[in-house]
Amino acid sequence: MLARHQDPIAAIATAPGRGAVGIVRVSGRGLAPFVQDLLGRALQPRQAHYLPFPDAQGQPIDQGLALFFPAPHSYTGEDVLELQAHGGPVVLQLLLARCLEAAQTALPRLRLAEPGEFTERAFLNDKIDLAQAEAIADLIDASTEAAARSAGRSLSGEFSKEIHGLRDALIHLRMLVEATLDFPEEEIDFLRKADARGQLSNLQQTLAGVMQRAGQGALLREGIKVVIAGQPNAGKSSLLNALAGAELAIVTPIAGTTRDKVQQTIQIEGVPLHIIDTAGLRESSDEVERIGIARAWEEIAGADAVLFLHDLTRMNAPEYIAGDAAITSDLDQKLPENVPVIDVWNKLDASTHQPPQAVAGHEAVRLSARTGAGLDTLRQRLLQVAGWQQGAEGVYIARARHLEALRAVDAHLMEAAAQLMSDGPALDLLAEELRLAQNALNSITGEFGADDLLGVIFSSFCIGK
């Protein structure tokens, strides 16, 4: 544990701004003398005391609730003091300053907490594991109800329980392999009698389920970036407004009205979708519009999916056909192959033309952004593109690093299976693949980890957490 982890820390633990209640939190070892000096009395453990919070001259800064949680029965695993006062920024700053002032004699090393340091200490003191610590931040940042519920499952330990189950099964299999390595003179075929192949196969099947649920959880946390692209006046801004259910973008019959991107996050069945309306794609001599078009291509290049909007009312116009063909060619060149392009034919209400059923082998979506006809079909198509499985149960929140670790586990188990299935398995290589798989699993829950990884994770927290 680093030296800074020995220091007592203090911070305002509620969000900035005005509120009904605000909290100042102090955590450290041996806080009882500090509590006595600060409040002029001792506090009964885990009981709320309504009392004045005095300044250095004994005059009340405010009145509120004080709670003292002796170690180890606290959020951080250390002694914790919480002062719950009225939630004005000035009041809370005065209380925090008073804590630092009172600590000069009773708690001389007290300092302001760094971002995420309270939760970091909870992790270091074995109150929670690393996946649960990350779930706290994800619960705070959740943008949808489904994301919040999934983060709650991770915080309660469901994700960690699955990882621990995988790890325990992996340790048992490693034990068998290591025993075979350590006692080569024995003629007993440990691996065959213990059904090592069956154990490894079960491990891989269980891992596949965990990866599927974690992938769904990562989708709930991150969502996907969807860019609406197309020629001017195809109805891109109207489609953004229809999906968002609000007039976010200006809509006019004048081509080139949208000069810069307009972004809105919506949710479909709890999945966040970051929808971006962009400038119409065409050749332009207008400098401002050209900048907008360049920015549109920048957004398209970073998209998870692209809605290529077509105008049904102009579908047979030679110039319009040529413009769509040019955009299609540019998309083929600039987009990675794994980024889906959904062809959307708009203005169904204003045209008698029959749009194509499919474009380039892909099913097209037909709709009217003005009337809303076909929007539900588009929403379901977006969920399909995102990889969301409707009715998924038991999804827990996950991060990109969790998925990366699980993919590493999968790769190591595949290598292990290849060794185990060979006629003359190299047991030392098999043991090494299993060890590397276990290390990847351990990195999810923080069974071991470098300080720089912890720093990256906890620095994204708010100060009071």
Annotated binding site: 25, 82, 127, 233-238, 252-258, 277-280, 368-370, 465
Q: Which residues line the annotated binding site for GTP?
A: 233-238, 252-258, 277-280, 368-370
For residues 200 and 413, the answer to whether their CB atoms sit within 8 Å is: yes
Q: Which H/E stretch holds residue 219? A: helix 196-222
Q: Which residues line the annotated binding site for (6S)-5-formyl-5,6,7,8-tetrahydrofolate?
A: 25, 82, 127, 465
Q: Which residues line the annotated binding site for K(+)?
A: 233, 252, 254, 257
Q: What share of the chain is helix, strand, coil (3-state, %, to 5)?
A: 50, 20, 35
Q: Which residues line the annotated binding site for Mg(2+)?
A: 237, 258
Residue 409 has a CB neighbour count (10 Å cut-off) of 27
Give the distance between the most distant pair of CA atoms in the chain: 85
Distance, CA of 37 to CA of 43 (rounded, Å): 12
Q: Is 295 exposed, middle or buried (0-12, 13-18, 19+ CB in 10 A)?
A: middle
The candidate with the shortest Cα–Cα distance to 341, out of 323, 362, 324, is: 362
Q: What are phi and psi of 463, to 5 degrees?
A: -60, -45
| ω into 108 cis (within 30 of 0) | no
Distance, CA of 369 to CA of 353 (rounded, Å): 16
